[in-house]
A and B are shown apart, each in its own frame.
Chain A
Amino acid sequence: MNWRNKEKFIHGILFIFAISSIIFLTGIVIVLFKEGLPIFHRIGLLDFILGKEWYPTYDPPDFGIYPLIMSSLLVTFGAMVIAVPVGISSAIFISYILPAKYKNFVKPIIEMLAGVPSVIYGLFGMKVLGPFLADKLNLPTGLIALNAAIMLGIMALPTIVSIAEDALSSVPRSFRDASLALGGTMWETIMKVNLPIATSGVTTAVILGMGRAIGETMTVLMVAGGASMVPKSFLLPVRPMTATIAAEMGEAAIGSPHYHALFGIGIILFIITLMFNILADVASQSFKKKVSAR
């Protein structure tokens, strides 16, 4: 083989490996739909999504995942209420205010926190935060939506802080210098110059944090309580989609309606996180354009 053909051959081989991510993504979609579609045939997509009763083991069983979807959304919303303000202010503090020598110390710590396994957060939420909440709020149990929201908020923080910090730091320094030279204080510069430029980058961070929170499984399985009712308050147990799949797949016989229903939940979950990812991607593209164009 002469070298030109060899190069072409290698190019081809590398291309096949490079599309592996797309192949896997396609594979996930195919498997989810293959195993999940039977439930839609059985009860219909709308009844599946909007049905208010989830009693998969009753006779006859009920497969309505509306309470599960609402639980996931409630818990994710609560997590964002905590994580967005704390995360963005931490990111601002780290990128503009903290002296460089501390920054080199704090950033790796936050990255390391992203690596703490979710079961560890779950264990803490279950055994420490749970009893604490039950005691302080005078509740029969501390394994409630609020607990899950707090733990998920903490877990989403490393993602939000480190991506938002990257975005804030990549705003060209000349912008800041110009504002300071005009007599603005550092705070005014941050609020009126840097943050507006970095908005789309910070948005990316928040969306990715949300994606992480809604897809998180073990922590919510351990701390959310597991009651499959339409959630009415942060102080009641809930059962998000991820926790339902994780808790029930072990009991569901392969090929049973329950098994297909759990894959059906997987489809809905996958679509929701896919939308988050696409939004995050759009936001990050627009940020890149903004920073490079000016």
Chain B
Amino acid sequence: MSNSLTTPGIVPARLNPDAYAEQFDDLYPDYDPHEAMVAADRCYFCHDAPCITACPTEIDIPLFIRQIQAGQPEAAARTIFDQNILGGMCARVCPTETLCEGACVREAAEGKPVEIGRLQRYATETLIQKNAHPYTRAPSTGKRVAVVGAGPAGLACAHRLAMHGHDITILDRREKPGGLNEYGIAAYKAAHGFAQAEVDWLMQIGGITLRQGWTLGADGTLADLQAEFDAVFLGIGLAGVNALGLDGEVVLGARDAVDFIAELRQTEDLSTLPIGRHVVVIGGGMTAVDAAVQSRLLGAEHVSMVYRRGRDAMSASDYELSHAANEGVKIITNAMPIAIHANGAVREVEFAYTHAGETGMEPTGETFRLKADQLFKAIGQTLVGAPEGVALDGRKIKVAADGSTSVPGVWAGGDCTGGGEDLTVTAVAQGRDAAESIHASLMKSGA
């Protein structure tokens, strides 16, 4: 094939075959040991450190950095994993600028925080890459727990429960475990098969069985699970996507960004993955950024990311947005889609500029059109398939602080529940805490 950046339409192989590996390689290379030492030396070992408070999983960050300084990154990794078993992935995908690094006193002092994310990655890598699992299971309790969903919440929950000696079955509708880590984030954030490597490493705890291709509702009900298991954890994520609500939305060339990202992540040879010359992404979150940046990396000549409100309201972090801009994504704010112009396939998307009015975002009356061979919709995901009888809080599953739902014996965590900003690290915290609650409950009832 001899396509190029300027080939019209949605075509594969816009780049030289050798270019893809480099394009989608790790955003950051690992620290080497000396770099890690120098970076670690910048930590002040603050009293009651603000970075710990800012971390949803409350990792003892000054301690693990000191352990790196003291020449024991493996011990540092253990400190991290004690709180966050997916500390490896979180080191890659956490919006650290709004979490630990945002709270770092050196951010306040110099605008240059300790690079906690990269240090965490350096530490966790020492155990994951060696495939050395630091935990052992407690003696078997004979209790069985079903974990629905093999994403961050489910994995964190399953690992913690397995550690306590329970037997866990993870049920997941996809082919591979990992949830959004495997299907939902940009490839360059989890390069070299990291998501699967991390799951494999995590599963070494033992006592966890994976049942794949199993969908809640279609292949079994909550009642079935309750009958078979002593407890159930729901980490089912947000399987639905919001629609734009425009006429002609279902048309060739238009698709959900999450599907595009999932397909990209599962494509072995990225030169076979078709991409438009003119790509328009609608949305202002991380999914929109990941879709837009990866479109550029695949060779799309023009990629615009359009958001209906102002930049401040975008849920994508400043860091992510500047990364997108660096990669050549044009970011347009205060513009809402009002029409899709197609001719068998998407041709143009028409937008109206907006301003904040009495009733929310209102059109200013000015419109513009963007050429689009391909349109990705990334305006949010929704909960679908929540089991009957489980109470909701708004559009998500209602949970107490310990993750318990309205149904006795059923817990939930991660994006399918509220209050977590849909971050990986929050899902891990919720899965872990639910596991502790489940454990306490099982041991009480078993006594």
Are A and B physically bound partners? no
Query: Which of B's residues lie within 8 Å of A, judged by CB?
Result: none
Residues of A within 8 A of B (CB): none
